[in-house]
Amino acid sequence: MAKIRRLGVLTSGGDCAGLNAVIRAVTYRAVRHYGWKVFGIIDGTMGLMERPLRYRELDLDMFSGNMLREGGTFLGTVNKGDPFNYPMPDGSTQDRSLDFVDGFNKLALDAVVVIGGDGSMRILSQLCERGGIGMVGVPKTIDNDVHGTDFAVGFTTAVNVVTESLDRLQPTAASHHRVMILEVMGRDAGHIAVNAGISGGADVILIPELPYRLESIAEKIDQVIREGRNHALVVVAEGVKTEDGLNAQVAHSHGQTRYGGIGHYLSDRISKMTELETRETILGHVQRGGTPSTRDRLLASAFGVHAVDMVAKGRLGRMVAWQERGVTDVPLSEVCIGPRSLEPDGTLINVARGLGIYIGESP
Amino acid sequence: MAKIRRLGVLTSGGDCAGLNAVIRAVTYRAVRHYGWKVFGIIDGTMGLMERPLRYRELDLDMFSGNMLREGGTFLGTVNKGDPFNYPMPDGSTQDRSLDFVDGFNKLALDAVVVIGGDGSMRILSQLCERGGIGMVGVPKTIDNDVHGTDFAVGFTTAVNVVTESLDRLQPTAASHHRVMILEVMGRDAGHIAVNAGISGGADVILIPELPYRLESIAEKIDQVIREGRNHALVVVAEGVKTEDGLNAQVAHSHGQTRYGGIGHYLSDRISKMTELETRETILGHVQRGGTPSTRDRLLASAFGVHAVDMVAKGRLGRMVAWQERGVTDVPLSEVCIGPRSLEPDGTLINVARGLGIYIGESP
Amino acid sequence: MAKIRRLGVLTSGGDCAGLNAVIRAVTYRAVRHYGWKVFGIIDGTMGLMERPLRYRELDLDMFSGNMLREGGTFLGTVNKGDPFNYPMPDGSTQDRSLDFVDGFNKLALDAVVVIGGDGSMRILSQLCERGGIGMVGVPKTIDNDVHGTDFAVGFTTAVNVVTESLDRLQPTAASHHRVMILEVMGRDAGHIAVNAGISGGADVILIPELPYRLESIAEKIDQVIREGRNHALVVVAEGVKTEDGLNAQVAHSHGQTRYGGIGHYLSDRISKMTELETRETILGHVQRGGTPSTRDRLLASAFGVHAVDMVAKGRLGRMVAWQERGVTDVPLSEVCIGPRSLEPDGTLINVARGLGIYIGESP
Amino acid sequence: MAKIRRLGVLTSGGDCAGLNAVIRAVTYRAVRHYGWKVFGIIDGTMGLMERPLRYRELDLDMFSGNMLREGGTFLGTVNKGDPFNYPMPDGSTQDRSLDFVDGFNKLALDAVVVIGGDGSMRILSQLCERGGIGMVGVPKTIDNDVHGTDFAVGFTTAVNVVTESLDRLQPTAASHHRVMILEVMGRDAGHIAVNAGISGGADVILIPELPYRLESIAEKIDQVIREGRNHALVVVAEGVKTEDGLNAQVAHSHGQTRYGGIGHYLSDRISKMTELETRETILGHVQRGGTPSTRDRLLASAFGVHAVDMVAKGRLGRMVAWQERGVTDVPLSEVCIGPRSLEPDGTLINVARGLGIYIGESP
């Protein structure tokens, strides 16, 4: 195990809340406890691929103000392409992975902490392998679809934003006797939709993991109306397909109708089936940013400290993780296997069913 | 001036935050101070037009809990059509205004407080005129485009929601070096866009009242980048047209491109002119609902008390209003003249220009 | 296992956020899924002890509005004394436990779901034992000190309130170069202090579980100043004693000084040791109430559904619990053993130490 | 009118939310529009009194991130004493006003924008007069007690914090059938108490401007209970005295009782008079800090731009102000006449009375 003196840290992939809190924890642990130097790489892999190198030394003073509470990443996370297949101006691609490795060596780093999601973790672990670079990963993604960890940084903030939006949509739905459809992030997995749907009082939650029937949705809304409600709330993950399995943005299956997305599709279908007024809302990028939740700050702090301790102990090629009630770590090889779906009979899906929410047919 | 014993109150038009706070203030004043009975009409004009009449007597106990803080209107505000031209199942229209008048008389009301926006105020004042019904109006609309008052109930809550969204979009814009376009409510007037744009740190604000040039937008963004920023924020009111004056949702002016709205149009145009990544977000109905802001609760309370005092004094056919630093009232005839635009050289537009925000060409 | 037709539910002990969400989940599950009748007992044990009985039947319609989002408990939780030693007007005490049992029988209930903390759970389980009443417990307490479960309902909302307060105190501390001391709830355990202290960026966290030295606090603050900060944040649980082990509210140990509480004591001591300006804030009851956090709503929903399922299966005399990543249940006998402290080398205490926070001496 | 090239800006007195937004607007206007240099003076008057001078040049880049949204003042506002009577280590005082003037000249400033409250405005205007320094004031104070302006920066954020606290206290009050007393800032004036009291649903509001009777408070609470409530909310400004006109912190008027403040006093008295449970909460410094409200950001932006324009036009010795619906300015001589009280029959006091809130006896 090599003696560490200079540690790099970078953020990669889509931003989310809590990244700065991870960087802060990494710096606090590495500088205060181990006395290392910490270098923040600017704009993900780009900072080490471009010349001159783009980075800044991170000192404790940088975090004396508000950084813990700021959304996004002050290091930036611009992605101009996979270094192994980097897009060139002439349309071809080029393997620029050695630029990354060379940048790492030029900066004389001993190891790097990579804060990223599913995809970034895979590419970065290949880059590090290529260069014999010691890497520790920290999982982050609003979608929470990283294998090996119960929670990734940024997820609960996104859930809070969605829940708050449902809190705002419920009274306007009730005032107008409407069915409100809220389309939320989640291309491959329904973590945000299920968590926020339950906590925000949804009647219907649709996720990529479970098939659904429009007729069952209409029946559920009818039931809610019979119980004395005058409105209903539907939460749908963006990755959900039309009932017949098409991408809603290109679907032309119902005559002339062209849909802007799954929310639009459901709004149209539900209004026709139930004769109730419907309205859809697409939350988009507001789910990404903003002040991190308490839980994301805790997670970020635990992950940052543990990541540095792993570097110190030479436990490399691994990702920090939250399992059960504490922080641990797993091999990167177990993580880089694609997005993590919700288990069809996991706790929250059962809670949703237990409350009487329609969350799709049993598979 | 007739002795008042039974007061009706109804909400009409689109819902917003603070309606329940108005109803509470009306009830508190009328019951506690004057000892009247107060009847809440369900679903706006519909409650008096349908048989059986739909209403509930409002007592103080109803407001002992959380009602002051709840968004929307617990009386409902379903609009099935203009009573003077009510749409019938066979496609024809019918004048059903006398149903409203008859309902008012059946309930033996002495006057009615109407909480509504520009359009509702006009229709309700005609209905009341038709029936010789004493009416006092209370202005509400998230768009703040009611004549005669500086502020309508619901406006500042909407501005807060938009500002909060900009607070969330800024860090993600900075993390990815993007231009973020936020499309907000405002068909005819840019009140929300200007207020939230300034408070949320926008670089560009586009409103229906002022023409703009895409080239000026691109120049402003270039300037911001030269100053050291890596991102920019653009706020646009939904009522803004394309540069050549078309409705963005139907515009086909740029070859094959079909736009989902003005936000989409700007996103496309700006990305092409500046070569920066752009993303658009459409906030939609989350601007309507939710817990009212402190200011909307104050306004709602002042309006509710004053409206009842006006009924007591026989000052009917008027709308309560906030002017300068206090509550007052204006004749309904001065209100019902269409939506109120921002003055092109009003304080906030000058503040925006003073900060260096691009807010359109001088007209 | 007796057939269940009539289920009681009551809240007992100090209120917190998420209680209404539990009651809603209990009602949804019992009525929608099992078709039972559900009766909400008013004001905890009092509703069954007083005559006439105080209760209301709970139907689905009650939860169609905002109830999921409201703080506190709409059933009330007034405690006038331990039924086994009920205080009488003449100063004596009387065993009134049979009044509770009799009330339960009068209402012809088949079982009762008790939502309560450590103390309530103990008394209620004794009352139910006395009467042969089938009981299932649901843990709630802002202090999170209930044995057998990782989380109790209400805890994360309280942590959020404290974190938000630290977010507000940090900039004012920095503006004035002050040490801010925040006294938070936690008589016996430091769960709130540790969670909020880490997420709110505290430099010092004091909890009842760990001894501390004033000199170590002063050293930590000196270190922070040397690192380039001009201010510091201290979080202390109300149950922490003075350095010499006294209750701060009655301590006279330092000459004439009489302290209002541990926050006041630390403020005085730290200002004298560091020559920095200090200010203390006592959050008090704002930690209890208000809209429940996303997590508390999820927890409440999972607990409510599971509690009803346990009644249905005849798994009585148990408390629902959150362990690891799912809902489970434990015998009440394992719960009613006093408050649950933080483990001295648990994850979060180690995270705090890892960040360089002073959290007391190693025991 | 001298040509301006170098502008100073400083914050003085207690911090509040929105100060950074003023500094940002001053910098944007001065640099972007006029092309001046702007110097931020560190720690109020101290930065110009100490040697070496403490200041930093402000450029546009500083505000590219989150500064608009951060509470407090990044320039600091440490006050070690009135420069005219500066406290020396030996206990004497010394006139150090010329140090300030000399510092101003050393930095070769042409004018200074002073962001301060009532007291700071008076001292700074004397300092500037002494040195022939051109000054423009910007009013800030959470108490809103500056003459000449309807609103000072920081006030509405404080009101929002208090309202939010009442929103949290109401459900816990209702759950336990308690009277909650909330003590808020306001030594000389009740602006916060009245604004937040109305918007937060208080039943009783006590302010320094109006005498009150304990018996009237008890009667109001009795009335509320008779109307069907089981709880009540009382808001009191810290500057309110005991019924017999004493400072509550030193009052011994009721036998042995010694009160921690007016909240404590009221809690004790009300519980004895009404036989209801009472609890008091003192919000303290959380009212100062944190993210500025939308309105404070608008105000700060309007004030900053206008202040710079005044400097440009040579309109010195004046304070910017918000009157009616726009920004204006007033002579400093009209401002520096002590704190501004609420008018006893102003709009909001009448609204409070109109709702049936007890707000003290008519004077």
Cite the DSSP H helix spans in chain D: 19-27, 46-49, 97-106, 118-131, 155-176, 191-199, 214-226, 262-274, 294-313, 332-335, 347-355
Name the neighbours of D, counting chains with at least 3 Cβ pairs within 8 A: A, B, C
Report the residue of chain B nearest D305, measured CA to CA. Answer: B354
pLDDT score of C336: 87
pLDDT score of C92: 94
Burial class (CB in 10 A: 0-12, 13-18, 19+), C79: middle
Report the residue of chain D nearest C75, measured CA to CA. Answer: D175
**How far A10 CA sits from the closest chain D CA (Å)?**
19
Mean pLDDT on D81-100: 94
Using a CB-CB cut-off of 8 Å, the residues of chain B touching C65 are 70, 74
Here the tokens at position B23 are 């109803």
Report the residue of chain D nearest B328, measured CA to CA. Answer: D347
Phi and psi based region of residue D255 (left: phi greater than 0; alpha: psi -120 to 50; beta: remaining): left
Each residue's pLDDT tens digit, C89-120: 999 999 999 999 999 999 999 999 999 999 99
pLDDT score of B2: 61
Mean pLDDT, chain A, rounded, equals 94
Note whether C6-153+292-323 and C158-288+343-354 share their fold. yes
Partner-chain contact B65 C65, CB within 8 Å: no
Partner-chain contact D71 C168, CB within 8 Å: yes
**Percent of chain C scored above 70 by pLDDT?**
97
**Is residue C138 helix, strand or coil?**
strand
pLDDT score of A255: 54
pLDDT score of A256: 55
Query: CB contacts < 8 Å between B and D, how many?
Result: 145
pLDDT score of D1: 53
> Virtual CA dihedral for D261, D266, D271, D273, nearest 10 degrees?
140
Task: Band the pLDDT of C124: cuts 50, 70, 90.
Answer: very high
Using a CB-CB cut-off of 8 Å, the residues of chain A touching D65 are 70, 74
Here the tokens at position A140 are 């982050």
**How far B101 CA sits from the closest chain D CA (Å)?**
30
Each residue's pLDDT tens digit, D263-300: 999 999 999 999 999 999 999 999 997 999 999 999 99
| CA separation for the pair B248, C36 (Å, rounded) | 54
Distances (CA, A) of C301 to A209, C3, C25, C309: 22, 24, 5, 12
pLDDT at C260 over 60: yes
**How far C228 CA sits from the closest chain A CA (Å)?**
5
Binding residues of D for substrate: 141-143, 178, 185-187, 238, 279, 285-288
pLDDT at D252 over 80: no
**How far D200 CA sits from the closest chain C CA (Å)?**
12
Architecture of D6-153+292-323 per CATH?
Answer: 3-Layer(aba) Sandwich (3.40)
Residue to substitute from B295, B309, B327, B343, interface D, most D β-carbons within 10 A: B295
pLDDT at D3 over 90: no
Each residue's pLDDT tens digit, C53-69: 999 999 999 999 899 99
Each residue's pLDDT tens digit, B298-345: 999 999 999 999 999 999 999 999 998 799 999 999 998 889 999 888
Here the tokens at position D47 are 């930065």
pLDDT score of D196: 98
pLDDT score of A153: 98
Contact criterion met (CB below 8 Å) for C350 and C361: no
Each residue's pLDDT tens digit, B101-158: 999 999 999 999 999 999 999 999 999 999 999 999 999 999 999 999 999 999 999 9
Mean pLDDT on A260-266: 93
pLDDT score of B345: 87
Each residue's pLDDT tens digit, B98-115: 999 999 999 999 999 999
Report the residue of chain A nearest C223, measured CA to CA. Answer: A32
Task: Band the pLDDT of B251: cuts 50, 70, 90.
Answer: low
List CB contacts of A21: < 8 A, sequence separation 6 or more. A67, A68, A153, A292, A296, A297, A300, A301, A304
Check residues A248 and C39 and name the one with the higher pLDDT: C39
Q: What's the length of chain D?
A: 363
**How far A125 CA sits from the closest chain C CA (Å)?**
26
Distances (CA, A) of B4 to B1, B35, C87, C110: 9, 10, 51, 52
Each residue's pLDDT tens digit, D214-248: 999 999 999 999 999 999 999 999 999 999 999 98
Q: Residue A180's Cα: distance from chain center in Å? A: 24
Q: What's the length of chain C?
A: 363
- Please state the domain extents for chain C: 6-153+292-323, 158-288+343-354
Catalytic residue among D143, D145, D188, D203: D143
Mean pLDDT on A46-64: 96
B330-354 core/surface letters (b: 16 or more CB in 10 A; e: else):
bebeebbeebbbbeeeebbbbbbbb
Q: For tokens 């009573």, what's the residue? A: B83
Contact criterion met (CB below 8 Å) for C101 and C37: no
Contact criterion met (CB below 8 Å) for D244 and D253: yes
Name the neighbours of A, counting chains with at least 3 Cβ pairs within 8 A: B, C, D
pLDDT score of C324: 80
Neighbours of A79 (CB within 10 A): 16
Task: Band the pLDDT of A344: cuts 50, 70, 90.
Answer: confident
Report the residue of chain A nearest C70, measured CA to CA. Answer: A167
Using a CB-CB cut-off of 8 Å, the residues of chain D touching B354 are 25, 28-29, 33, 301, 305-306, 309
Q: How wide is the angle at C-alpha A118 spanned by C-alphas A76 and A113, nearest 5°?
A: 50
Partner-chain contact B70 C74, CB within 8 Å: no
pLDDT score of B81: 85
Task: Band the pLDDT of A179: cuts 50, 70, 90.
Answer: very high
Residue to substitute from D19, D66, D68, interface A, most A β-carbons within 10 A: D66
Binding residues of D: 14, 80-81, 117-120, 141-143, 178, 185-187, 238, 279, 285-288
Phi and psi based region of residue D261 (left: phi greater than 0; alpha: psi -120 to 50; beta: remaining): left
Each residue's pLDDT tens digit, C188-234: 999 999 999 999 999 999 999 999 999 999 999 999 999 999 999 99
Query: CB contacts < 8 Å between A and D, how many?
Result: 7
Contact criterion met (CB below 8 Å) for A76 and A100: no
Q: Report domain B158-288+343-354's class.
A: alpha beta
pLDDT score of B1: 52
Check residues A255 and B285 and name the one with the higher pLDDT: B285
Task: Band the pLDDT of D250: cuts 50, 70, 90.
Answer: low
Contact criterion met (CB below 8 Å) for A245 and A235: no
- Per the DSSP assignment, residues forming a β-bridge with B38 are B7, B58
Mean pLDDT on C267-272: 96
Q: D143 an active-site residue? A: yes
Here the tokens at position B68 are 């002051």
Handedness of CA D89, D90, D94, D98 (dihedral sign): negative
Task: Band the pLDDT of C162: cuts 50, 70, 90.
Answer: very high
**Percent of chain D scored above 90 by pLDDT?**
89
The minimal CB distance from D201 to the residues B61, B68, B293 is found for B68
User: Is the ipTM value over 0.85, yes or no?
Assistant: yes
